[in-house]
Amino acid sequence: MNDRASLLPSPEFEKLTSLLSDRIMRTASSLNAENFDDFLDPTMKNLLQRAFQNAGAHEGAVWLVDPEGKNLVVCHAWGTRAAQVTGFAQPLTSGIVSMVLATEQPFCENKVYTNRMQAKALDQKLGVLTCSMIAAPLTFAKGLRGVVSCIKAKQLAEEPDPPGFEMAALGEMQFVAHVLGKLIEFELVSVITGWDNGL
């Protein structure tokens, strides 16, 4: 068998493709704020942490669309307020992260508090003012399923803004969201097939 032939789909597994695909979709749709953090393995968490730190972010989050398709929910958070942020739900009809999901386009803006599209509910919950934001769409299991975002914030409006995000950080966040999606897909397959158990 040549190298190219060994990389082609194996005929004996073709009949299982539909079954596996359906199970992957159903399992992906079941990920939520209660189970997503446990689902993420150390590599995925480290990937996100490094990306947020390298961008100079104060907080970072992974948002997933809820099963009803009505809200984006923070299912994983990084930063000093992570516990307060996890589980926060924002309607798909409002906010910049929802716009990123709807348009499938990444976003980066400094002085984002001047943007009328920014939803204020999370800032009000945390008692901060978001100054800068990066958000990138998250795709896995053959669908657009969420957003990876990070922010810089300040406590008081009269305080000077922290240094804004550089545009290079936007490209980095897009790349990280892409890699995270691939890692999630691999983990889904591993969980479903028992690969994690050494099979």
Please tell me the predicted confidence (pLDDT) of residue 119: 94
Q: What percent of the chain has a predicted confidence (pLDDT) above 70?
A: 93
Answer yes or no: pTM beyond 0.85. Answer: yes
Please tell me the predicted confidence (pLDDT) of residue 8: 63
52 CB-contact burial (10 Å; exposed 0-12 / middle 13-18 / buried 19+) = buried
* 56 vs 15, more confident: 56
Q: Which residues touch 91 (CB under 8 Å, ≥6 apart)?
A: 70, 71, 98
Q: Where do the domains of the chain lie, and which CATH numbers do they carry?
A: 34-193 (3.30.450.40)
Tell me if residue 165 falls in helix, strand or coil. Answer: coil
What pLDDT, in 10s, does the model give residues 102-136? 999 999 999 999 999 999 999 999 999 999 999 99
Please tell me the predicted confidence (pLDDT) of residue 2: 54
What pLDDT, in 10s, does the model give residues 144-163? 999 999 999 999 888 999 99
d(CA 176, CA 178): 5
Give the residue-averaged pLDDT of 2-16.
66
Amino acid in the structure at residue 153: A
